[in-house]
Chains A and B, each alone.
Chain A
């Protein structure tokens, strides 16, 4: 397998294990274990393939990615210039600066670590919170006196079977717009025009709404026309003679 082949496959590998969160982590680990020859690794192809990846990265992920790629570049550079030859070794001033910052950060954070230890010793689980924390209303309810006869009555009330829940809503009559359209067509065929109020007299609001939809449907199809001379007044549905579907 060529070096480029090694790069291409891991980048397409949706790997997510305990130790590896992606192909680049795996690649870096293989490089560190010297199971991949870093000198043959085409880093430019790797960077381009990574940047062309389908994922959108948030700033933390982008930062980790940049760090990872920089680590690979540094490792390859060290390998190519033969840094391991002790004769020509010169400490990298930037790296030493980073290391000194690490030491300074550890020393600066130490007081907070110690403060955390102090807090652990004060932790209320074993110490400070040693008073009752039951809400007062609940405590008052628990202390409410009840006579045995009151408790007996309460138990008897609990033992009475509750009324069966109503299933009336399960058998509600279903209204079909198609059926209303057919009825409307029949009425128009017989009389030529019908009154909406007469059509819906004695029906509930759902049936009235569905009847209005049927009227609008016939108007949309060109089978009827609607007239409402007065706002909120009665609607008259007229049969349209040409092309009337019922004829």
Chain B
């Protein structure tokens, strides 16, 4: 298959697929080598420029042709969004803990968050955002990790596509502000400062 024909074939496959297609899968479907597929994807990506409503993107370990982010609002007018798809702030925070510390058990999640994570973890399991990742030793607590569905939902290329956690750490002044709020609320004495 010539390169020009290959990028058209990949365009058709990505258009039809209901899920991201990995390079390996694209190679199988297009009967081409990984190098050829990657070059064709680059050609395809260049074709969907800024003037297009679509883009070629790598997400959840695969490739998709999708609507551009700035068109999300107009796309939402076309599709129904059940309210129960929304994640609560507690669920988002728990997801963040799991995503950065996976595989991690419920007791460890509760230790990081400072509150029980039973119900939240159960809800995330039901929604397919996380999955079981084996136990700690024999008979230990079950550990959990995020799923490709999580990566798809949050637009991540893979499990390692998160910003470094150090980017979110509090600065010295911000940490002191937290202590000050505790003092103001009567939870810390002035001597602790």
Contact = CB atoms under 8 A, between A and B. Distances in A.
Contacts of A108: 112
A116 B95 contact: yes
A124 B155 contact: yes
A131 interface: yes
B139 to A, nearest CB: 15
A131 B68 CA distance: 10
B169 A103 contact: no
A111 B113 CA distance: 11
Interface in A73-117: 91, 96, 99-100, 102-103, 105-117
Contacts of B170: 107, 110-111
A128 interface: yes
A126 interface: yes
A92 to B, nearest CB: 10
Interface residues of A, number: 39
B175 A107 contact: yes
Interface in A123-156: 123-136, 139
Interface stretch (B3-11, B24-32, B43-51, B82-90): B82-90
Interface in B165-191: 165-166, 168-170, 174-175, 178-179, 182, 187-189, 191
Interface residues of B, number: 55
Contact of B189 (A60, A91, A127): A91
Contacts of A119: 92, 95-96, 99, 154
B174 to A, nearest CB: 8
Contacts of B93: 112-113, 116
A118 interface: yes
A211 B153 CA distance: 67
Contacts of B67: 130-131
A136 B168 CA distance: 40
B126 interface: no
Contact of B153 (A103, A123, A131): A123
A128 B96 contact: no
A122 B81 CA distance: 16
Contacts of A113: 93, 96
Interface of B: 15-19, 59, 64-69, 71-73, 75-76, 81, 85-87, 89, 92-93, 95-97, 99-100, 112-114, 116, 152-156, 162-163, 165-166, 168-170, 174-175, 178-179, 182, 187-189, 191-192
Interface of A: 60, 91, 96, 99-100, 102-103, 105-120, 122-136, 139
